[in-house]
Amino acid sequence: MSADSPIAEIGETPLVPAHVTAAFVSDEVSRVTEQKAPVGWWMVFGVALMFLGVLLVSVGYLVWNGIGSWGNNSPAAWAWDITNFVWWIGIGHAGTLISAVLFLFRQKWRTSVNRFAEAMTIFAVICALLYPTIHVGRIWFLYWALPIPNQMGMWPNFKSPLLWDVFAVSTYFTVSLLFWFVGLIPDFATLRDRAKNVVRKKVYGALALGWRGSNRHWRHYERAYLILAALSTPLVLSVHSVVSFDFATSVMPGWHTTIFPPYFVAGAVFSGFAMVSTLMIICRQVYGLKDIMTMKHLELMNKIMLVTGSLVGYAYSMEFFIAWYSGNEYERYVFINRATGPYAWAYWTMVTCNVVSPQLFWWKRLRTSIPVMFAVSILINIGMWFERFVIIVTTLHRDYLPSSWGMFHPTLVDIGCYTGSLGLFFTLFSLFIRWLPMIAMFEVKAALPGAQPSHHAAHDEHAEPAHGALAVKEA
């Protein structure tokens, strides 16, 4: 798995400078939620709100007027709607991956990133869920897709990948949300105990559920955390696999491919990490959290992007090979059409952004340069959107019968629905930054040098799985 590459160098040098102590951590992190928001925050928040407005208007018009407000047509019955869905879902993968997979792999450096990434996951999934919801022709009957007893005696069709989606994505959302909240409980307690005014005290107090750091609690707590991680790991892999089934189980050339599940997962991790580092870079600049989100963290993430980016590139080439090797003329045409047809520009944008740009990270200088990694992460986000666009639209617009070939042209409402979702995402995210601890304080504390009793490593094997998860191997 992509995450185990950096293991070796972790133990060697500490991730955080010496002056970072438990107290320092809670002060630094809580500060963000306690002080006035900086100008930068207000700017981001304002713009985000504006685009949220755009979203509301576009969606309102869409529902009122019908799907025809979009550019979708026959043959391209799906276009930007599902493109955006898959894009957001993909982004929504990094969070759980970081908090779950890296957790299982004992990657202690995750501690300063995971809270952040999980939040991003949840907001991304919210944006993703928007599209399957509004893309249906009769949204008021959407509940028919759920197994609810009704006077028609009808049930959903469990053979439909779309229904698997419903279950997969909603499960993913719920589990991520629980995971996130569980992680937040002890930090809520911190905020509660630091709070000066009573309102803050009561609000955070309520959220903290009366947490008192009891070791009898920590015991179950850590076990729960471990189990959630163990559950989320296959879940995170399954979700994008299921999303890829929407395409892989169809009969469309260019969709009907066995490579899709791993290919989609890799892509998801790729785009997810890109989005995380974009956001991290912004936040650590705005809030000067350079001591906790260190360059080392960013570098490690860049390495993962390099790996997954290359994986994705491999998938692209393999698709072509298989299409050629299959000898199926329809399959072959689709791929030739992708690279040379009317949508070639989209295809090559995708390749440049996703395969070429991350290769810069082979060089340490580039991989540790803030401007470079920021630019690349943005490029990757764009590239991954185009990947989904290419998969969906270029396959549909020219399939089996040339008589039915056509082109897709987006409308204003299409654009509104997409940019609007970015508005929704950043609104939620800036609210999170403002009011919640963006770094898992108790986890960082636990992972600090000297945070754990010195002589006990020896005689507590029985508790190893629980504690070990958060424990640090002393150098």
Partner 1 sequence: MQIFPRSLNYLPLVAALGVAVLGGGVTTGIWYYFSPKNTQVGYAPEQPIHYSHKLHAGELGMDCRYCHANIERSQEAMIPPTQACMGCHAVVKKDSPKLAALRDSWKTGKPVEWVRVHRVADYVFFDHSVHLAAGVGCVSCHGRIDQMDVVRQDQPLNMVWCLECHRNPNPNLRPKDQITNMTWKPSAEEATQLAEVKLRGPQHCSGCHR
Partner 2 sequence: MSEQATSKRPVVYLAEYDSPDAIIHAAEGVRDAGYEKWDVHSPYPVHGMDAAMGLPDSGLGWIVLLCGLTGVTAAVVMIQWMNGIDYPLVIGGKPPDAIPSMVPIMFELTVLLSAFGAVFGMLGLNALPRHHHPVFYSDRFEAFSHDKFFISIEVEDKKFDKEKTKQLLESLHSTHVELVEEEVA
Partner 3 sequence: MSTAGNKQETSSGKRLFWRSLEQKADPQAQHEEAKASDVVKQTISHDELFTLRRRNFLGLSGAMAALVGVEGCVRRPVENIMPYADMPEYINPGVPLHYATATQRNGEALGLVVTTFEGRPTKIEGNPDHPTSLGATDLLAQAGILELYDPERSHAPTHKGVAASFADFDAFVATKLAELQKNGGSGLRVLAQPTNSPTFVRMRAALLAKLPQARVHTYAPVSQSQVLESTRIAFGQPTSVLHDFSQAKVVVALDSDFMMTEPGSVRSARQFASARDMESASGTMNRLYAVEPLFSVTGSNADHRLRLPAQDIARYARALAAELISAHGVQLGAIAPAVQGVATDGIPEHWLKAVASDLAANTGRSLVVAGARQPAAVHALVHALNRALGNAGKTVTYGEALDPTEADNFASIAALASDMAAGKVDTLVILGGNPAHDAPADLHFGDALAKVGTSIHVSSHDEETAALTTWHLPRAHELETWGDLQASTGHYTVQQPMLAPLWGGRSDIEVLGQLAGEPAWRGHDLVQATVTGRGINGELAWRQLLHKGVAEQTFARVLGALEVRDGEVAGALRKLTDAPALSASNLEVVFAADAKMFDGRYANSTWLLELPDPQTRITWDNAALIGPSTAKELGLKSGDMVRLSKDGASVDIVTWVQPGQAPNSIGLTLGWGRKKAGSNGNGHGFDVYPLRTTAAPHFTAGVAVQKLGVTYPLSQVQEHDSMEGRPLAIDATLSEYKEKPNFPEFKSPDPQFAPLWKMQDYSKGNQWGMNVDLNTCNGCNACVIACQAENNVPVVGKEQVARGRSMHWFRIDRYYVGDNEDTPEVAFQPVGCQHCEEAPCENVCPVAATSHSPEGLNDIAYNRCIGTRYCMNNCPYKVRRFNFLNFNQDIPETLQMQKNPNVTVRFRGVVEKCTYCVQRIQKAKSTAKQEGRHWLRDGEVVSACQQVCPTQAITFGDINNPKSVVSTKRRTDRNYALLAEVGARPRTRFLGKIRNPNPEMKS
Binding partner of residue 250 among partner 3, partner 2, partner 1, none, CB cut-off 5 to 8 Å per kind? partner 3
Among 74, 403, 462, 475, interactor with partner 2 by CB under 8 A: 462
Picking from 413, 306, 422, the residue whose alpha carbon sits closest to that of residue 6 is: 306
Rounded-to-10 torsion of CA 17, 18, 20, 23? 180
Instruction: State the Cα–Cα distance between residues 121 and 180, nearest whole angstrom.
Output: 10
Give the binding site for partner 3 (CB under 8 A): 65-68, 71-78, 135-142, 144-145, 152, 154-157, 159-163, 166, 246, 249-252, 329-330, 333, 396, 399-407, 409
**Residue with smaller CB distance to partner 1, 153 or 371:** 153
Q: What are phi and psi of 15, to 5 degrees?
A: -75, -30
Instruction: State the Cα–Cα distance between residues 442 and 432, nearest whole angstrom.
Output: 18
**Residue with smaller CB distance to partner 2, 384 or 466:** 466
List the interface residues with partner 2, window 121-160 (CB under 8 A). Answer: 147, 153-159
Binding partner of residue 10 among partner 2, partner 3, partner 1, none, CB cut-off 5 to 8 Å per kind? none
**Residue with smaller CB distance to partner 1, 149 or 371:** 149
**Residue with smaller CB distance to partner 2, 217 or 290:** 217
Instruction: State the Cα–Cα distance between residues 54 and 101, nearest whole angstrom.
Output: 36
Binding partner of residue 260 among partner 2, partner 1, partner 3, none, CB cut-off 5 to 8 Å per kind? none
Binding partner of residue 231 among partner 3, partner 2, partner 1, none, CB cut-off 5 to 8 Å per kind? partner 2
Measured from the Cβ of residue 266, the count of other Cβ atoms closer than 10 Å reads 23
For helices 295-326 and 370-389, the axis angle rounded to 10 degrees is 30
Binding partner of residue 216 among partner 1, partner 2, partner 3, none, CB cut-off 5 to 8 Å per kind? partner 2
**Residue with smaller CB distance to partner 3, 45 or 78:** 78
Rounded-to-10 torsion of CA 203, 208, 213, 215? 160
Among 205, 254, 358, 416, interactor with partner 2 by CB under 8 A: 205
Q: What is the DSSP letter of 288?
A: T
Binding partner of residue 201 among partner 1, partner 2, partner 3, none, CB cut-off 5 to 8 Å per kind? partner 1
List the interface residues with partner 1, window 192-231 (CB under 8 A). Answer: 192, 198, 201-202, 205-206, 210
For helices 80-91 and 215-248, the axis angle rounded to 10 degrees is 150
- For residue 152, state whether it binds partner 1 (rule: CB under 8 A): yes
Picking from 358, 364, 411, the residue whose alpha carbon sits closest to that of residue 381 is: 358
